[in-house]
Structure 1
């Protein structure tokens, strides 16, 4: 039996174009010229997909999107918007639309959208089609925070809306992104993750968009970029706040136009990629500070997801510890057990590095243990939570002291800065990269301050 697409548009020419294109794809179509007619068609026989225009004689397409999302959640709906109407597209995605397509309609883009939407509809009827996440790529735990996050991720998997994932370093942002990918219509296609802070600025455009032979010294062959590598799938931009402003402009165009221009090429290459992004920073503050473009912020932050830090879901510690030990020890019989007090010691720890730090702690503890049991001493934790730099500074008597600053303001400020940086280094276990991120400064700036304050010795 043919799959059915409901076309809702008051322009006969658009309805005819869509009908011809979809019929050639082997699909049956039902047409409606008004919002009321579309709602009657939905109640009479729910389709496999709905394509609706924004402006209708008796209402707007957003109302239809909301109705379908509430009453027919198994039916994906895509919005047809005016060219360049990004605000309308974002409104539709937030209302529950699967995706959008702009007028004048590009037929190849339409075919890709319809194929992806129908795959999603098939997956919603057959959960077995969803990809099974690899070990270590699940959201582990049953706490209220992680249960809500899991439900939110599974819901977002049904959409093509850009999602921004915010959370502290090591909290599991990429795990959430993979969960969204693995349970969506793109699960069988590539998931490509890139850390934007790890790519040198001068190579970033080539890495993301690719380059053609001869475009610069050393470009001895054509090279596809990460957008092309993720074709049909998901591109995860981790630490997106680290993108330089010039690159942010090009990324915005690539997302809006669904096309990229390789370095040295005169032509754009169409791409079919869902973009997910993440950062440990507050993007709204980055926008206020002028370090992140306002238009790109609203384009990638259509839906915001917050990943809670480990200290806010300590009820999940037993399940996390069991899974990590299982991964470390493998399937053999030499799996170590926790002694009494080890779990209590972890519950009293603040985990500034979150789940990633927990993994490192357990790997180190297993190496230091007798092989059968892991004790609290093996964990090498301070039983009190590590102090934040501000708290540590206060404990060392670094409160504001007006009298001490008189006559030597520079020396006084250097003492305060020295104590704060020392506390931050201690919290980050003398990892300078982590310390720079914690303090919100560049690695180069931290290195200069360490030399100036004679802390590098």
Structure 2
């Protein structure tokens, strides 16, 4: 491998120099060029053991050159690097037979590792024949490192039928990933069928997935096809898989193991050819520990895990997302809008408990409700923070309100974030005045103690036990917070 020759193509002289030095130090021979025509000549003459090429070059786009290289030398691995770091770049590179895609900037050690693997792994991949997707229809938006990792995994999966498990908070775009895997994968000519486990009554999930025979249960007047039959030859997306009841889990495991299933009330096994992509916002390992999810099914589904990062972990993607949502709103008939730098700054400081869905809803609201062509920071602050109670009950996270997945602890945490976000939006990076602890504590204690007293009908001894505090401490807090105690009838 030390005698292997790497063909490097990049129109940036500085990048060619850096790559040349790094690869030579790693023990490779290097030939470098700044144009696609020279690269093609070298490949045609049989030179090189692996290619490292940029996408955009002065004479030709390297992605257009890839199919020619694959046809002439199908065993020559190609590493594509690009500063155009969108999911479509990764997808197009994979479709045209690239061995690996590296978004710029990248770590040189990572490149060396990719080159070494490319030289040792047998490589013969035929490019896909998908139509060129339009840029404005990007299935996923974001150039952050977290999203680049997802794009690279997706690109590797397009020509496979491996089961995929997508995890992440609500509103992060899990279904978008599932759709992209289908729309740009080898099953794109087949159906994409999505089913949400949490939206179906538990007693009907088996019938929904596998279908049922006439008379299989009360009310089954005719035979009904299930989602597996509807998705035949395509992709079945099982959203909120953590809500699947045990009986349905057992049936699904059989499908994954044997490639066949029976309808509810049926006896004849039915062969199936469906790719499974599952998603959840829940911790499946915790559910396994509680006996609520089968461990063997988890490993069957979790062949390739993809974690969707919350928006707060990829705030640099906010401007790209805003432009995308504004463009979509305009295409749907809403007025053209833009956000000034101050408004984008406010959005990048927000914590986004509702994730990308919350941001999309906000952008649509801005486009629909305001007459200004340019949205300012003041408008965004009013939409994000005005008329919002500091400690709202946990909600679904949309619209930017303090929310969680239903737990009171998450709601309290959202209230704290709300206070800090509101202050930072108005004062930049300046720290808020002292006393935040006491203010938050008071806002939490007052409703907590009031609710405890109401639950115990004013019995302070029982309320103190419920709260886990001393009775004298409770009495003092009742005085300090000026809580009116009303005793109920027992």
Which interval holds the TM-score relative to the shorter structure? 0.5 to 0.7
Contact preservation (8 Å) 1:130, 1:182: no
Give the C-alpha shift of residue 361 in structure 1: 1.0
SS of structure 1 residue aligned to 2:384: coil
**1:375 maps to what in 2?**
376
Q: Distance in 2 between matches of 1:142 and 1:45?
A: 31
Judge which range, 177-186 or 263-272, deviates more: 177-186
Q: Distance in 1 between matches of 2:285 and 2:131?
A: 34
TM-score for the superposition, normalised by structure 1: 0.59
- Relative distance call for 1:73 and 1:378 in structure 2 (3 A) is farther
Q: Across the two proteins, how many residue pairs are aligned to each other?
A: 300
Give the C-alpha shift of residue 333 in structure 1: 8.6
* Deviation per residue, 1:344-363 (Å, 9 max, x gap): 11111111111111111112
- Relative distance call for 1:141 and 1:220 in structure 2 (3 A) is same
Contact preservation (8 Å) 1:163, 1:300: yes
Unpaired runs of 5+ residues, structure 2, are: 1-72, 76-116, 391-399, 404-409, 417-436, 454-458, 469-490
- Relative distance call for 1:177 and 1:131 in structure 2 (3 A) is farther
**2:411 maps to what in 1?**
389
Q: Distance in 2 between matches of 1:68 and 1:253?
A: 36
Within 5 Å, which residues of 2 pair with 1:88-99?
none
Residue 260 (structure 2) pairs with residue 287 (structure 1): no
Residue 459 (structure 2) pairs with residue 411 (structure 1): no
Give the C-alpha shift of residue 219 in structure 1: 2.3
Contact preservation (8 Å) 1:181, 1:191: yes
Contact preservation (8 Å) 2:335, 2:367: no
**1:255 maps to what in 2?**
256
- Relative distance call for 1:234 and 1:70 in structure 2 (3 A) is farther
Residue 133 (structure 2) pairs with residue 125 (structure 1): no
* Deviation per residue, 1:248-276 (Å, 9 max, x gap): 11111122111121112111111100101
CA radius of gyration, larger in:
2
SS of structure 2 residue aligned to 1:224: coil
Within 5 Å, which residues of 2 pair with 1:38-437?
71-75=121-125, 124-126=126-128, 128-129=129-130, 132=133, 138-330=139-331, 334-370=335-371, 372-379=373-380, 380-382=383-385, 388-391=410-413, 392=415, 395-396=440-441, 410-412=462-464
User: Which 4+ runs in 1 deviate beyond 6 A?
Assistant: none
Contact preservation (8 Å) 2:334, 2:367: no
Contact preservation (8 Å) 2:74, 2:123: no
Q: Distance in 2 between matches of 1:378 and 1:136?
A: 28
- Relative distance call for 1:264 and 1:170 in structure 2 (3 A) is same
Give the C-alpha shift of residue 137 in structure 1: 5.8
- Relative distance call for 1:160 and 1:68 in structure 2 (3 A) is farther
* Deviation per residue, 1:332-386 (Å, 9 max, x gap): 6931121442111111111111111111111222222115233334431139995
* Deviation per residue, 1:220-254 (Å, 9 max, x gap): 32211001111011111111001112221111112
Q: Distance in 2 between matches of 1:209 and 1:134?
A: 37
Q: Distance in 1 between matches of 2:201 and 2:371?
A: 43
TM-score for the superposition, normalised by structure 2: 0.55
Q: Distance in 1 between matches of 2:464 and 2:377?
A: 40
- Relative distance call for 1:270 and 1:137 in structure 2 (3 A) is farther
Give the C-alpha shift of residue 280 in structure 1: 0.7
Q: Relative contact order, CA 8 A, sep 6+: which one is greater?
A: 1
**2:13 maps to what in 1?**
none
- Relative distance call for 1:45 and 1:351 in structure 2 (3 A) is closer
Note the aligned Cα RMSD (angstroms): 3.3
Unpaired runs of 5+ residues, structure 1, are: 1-43, 47-66, 76-123, 417-457
